[in-house]
A and B are shown apart, each in its own frame.
Chain A
């Protein structure tokens, strides 16, 4: 009887798609620390879109307004220097990019293009702003992770600059 009820719940009451999406979101570092229901609420703030092979997500110089989370496929990040376009990174499933658009609307520093058919979740900046009021804990967790990433990148950059300065003085 108990197993029948459990099976009934799984089949008819609960949405398998949401359970799968929640499981996927648990693996995304920027959402680490969110509870089950919070992940459910977060999923409702995300937009899912499929990009075909070769389709651009955004171009370098476009104003960024969303964070992209790759569920399946591969995305190439490309940067244009002196007229030529170079691939700087390939995003793999479970990774996210464009997170700085959640903090400020600035031109994208690279272009993104689907290398194959890819499914991505988009977290739009105003959706995050809405979460600040509607579900502050979710927004706080995301902002904390963003701040950590930003801080890490600043430190990395400063260390690189310091190393470069020391090296130039030594030479």
Chain B
């Protein structure tokens, strides 16, 4: 293997190994991943203070103080509402499912009474077809509650992210220092590409999640739907798993509305609200947000492969991992064409006029 490809190839192999280990020990790594995410997202703010001459530790403490203030004032009541809503939803979910089955049975009877072939067609819909789906849907609040139990890490995550924030520049500096000098430029190229890709993905997803959750919370509140905070929060978190997350949260919203008002129309209204938010997100918001610019086919394939191989974690991490893999391949290609002298020929061949 040519020496110039050794670093990206080695990085690729190391990245795969790291991903494998993280998946195997996902529970152990979860607080570290969350802390890293928190540190990564807050880092630009720390840098902003630092560029104005502040010491890094002062900037970190200032940000922590501000966040603690916001959390103590605003987030605690919201968390309590969210937790109680989720607990109630989990308790009532079996009732909702039973009512849903009843509604389907009533609907089937009505159709079979009005349409000659409708009855036999609908009778072939065995509950076995949708039972696995219902089981999955039932377990979603449990997943969400499990995610909320992250609150038990309330001391662990801030401490870890504090260390990540404080030591990030030194860690980066040490990495550059131990890298063989001839490969420093290549290592920086790699770090930069990965930083750009991960940064774009995180910024895009987090902004999208916040806006979608806010829009849905407002819409559901206006429609007078119970659990509007929980449903919109679920939809926000669902943005991390493209398509599926949104569909699951919409399903919940529709079910809650249908059972709350004992009317299919209420469910349709909620579905229309979700659809409008999704369309508005796709047309107006997504083009403004930074994205990984993966082709839709690659996007879907990554999700399916990630989900099949690693389940929920695979769905969650498929897009950033594929984006990083793509940027590594792109770097290898760029290095190849620049080393082969194919890069800048057209720039000079276009020069005809003499230098004046």
Measured CB to CB, the residues of A under 8 A from B are: 12-15, 18-19, 22, 36-37, 40-41, 43-44, 47-51, 55-59, 62-66, 104-107, 122, 124, 126-127, 130, 154-155, 158
* Distance from B347 Cβ to chain A, minimum over Cβ atoms (Å): 7
* B residues near A63, Cβ cutoff 8 Å: 4, 185, 335, 338-339
Q: Do the beta carbons of A49 and B184 come within 8 Å of each other?
A: yes
- A to B CB contacts below 8 Å, 6 in the list: A12-B55, A40-B50, A40-B53, A56-B182, A65-B188, A130-B192
- Say which residue of B4, B55, B196 sits within 8 Å of A15 (CB atoms): B55
Question: Within the assembled complex, what's the spacing in Å between the Cα atoms of A112 and B173?
Answer: 21
Taking residues whose C-beta sits less than 8 angstroms from the other chain, chain B's interface range is 20 to 34
* B residues near A14, Cβ cutoff 8 Å: 53-55
Q: Do the beta carbons of A58 and B55 come within 8 Å of each other?
A: no
* B residues near A40, Cβ cutoff 8 Å: 50-53
Task: A65-B185, A104-B347 given; name 17 further pairs at CB < 8 Å.
Answer: A12-B55, A14-B54, A15-B55, A40-B51, A43-B51, A44-B51, A47-B173, A49-B173, A49-B176, A49-B181, A49-B184, A58-B185, A63-B338, A66-B185, A104-B344, A107-B339, A126-B192
Measured CB to CB, the residues of B under 8 A from A are: 4, 47, 50-56, 58, 172-173, 176-177, 181-182, 184-186, 188-189, 192-193, 196, 334-335, 338-339, 341, 343-344, 347, 355
Contact A122-B188, Cβ < 8 Å, known A51-B181, A55-B181:
yes
* A residues near B177, Cβ cutoff 8 Å: 49-50
Of all A-B residue pairs in the complex, the 3 with the closest CB atoms, nearest first, are A40-B51, A105-B338, A126-B192
Q: Do the beta carbons of A104 and B355 come within 8 Å of each other?
A: no
- Say which residue of A13, A19, A50, A124 sits within 8 Å of B58 (CB atoms): A13
* B residues near A12, Cβ cutoff 8 Å: 55, 58
Q: Do the beta carbons of B182 and A62 come within 8 Å of each other?
A: yes
Contact A126-B189, Cβ < 8 Å, known A51-B181, A105-B338:
yes
* Distance from A11 Cβ to chain B, minimum over Cβ atoms (Å): 10
Q: Do the beta carbons of B47 and A44 come within 8 Å of each other?
A: yes
Contact A15-B53, Cβ < 8 Å, known A49-B177, A104-B343:
yes
Q: Do the beta carbons of B355 and A154 come within 8 Å of each other?
A: yes
Q: Do the beta carbons of A19 and B192 come within 8 Å of each other?
A: no
* B residues near A127, Cβ cutoff 8 Å: 192
Q: Do the beta carbons of A105 and B343 come within 8 Å of each other?
A: yes
Contact A47-B188, Cβ < 8 Å, known A55-B181, A105-B343, A106-B344:
yes
* Distance from A100 Cβ to chain B, minimum over Cβ atoms (Å): 11
* A residues near B181, Cβ cutoff 8 Å: 49, 51, 55-58
* Distance from A61 Cβ to chain B, minimum over Cβ atoms (Å): 9
Q: Do the beta carbons of A65 and B189 come within 8 Å of each other?
A: yes
* A residues near B51, Cβ cutoff 8 Å: 37, 40-41, 43-44
* B residues near A64, Cβ cutoff 8 Å: 185
* B residues near A50, Cβ cutoff 8 Å: 177
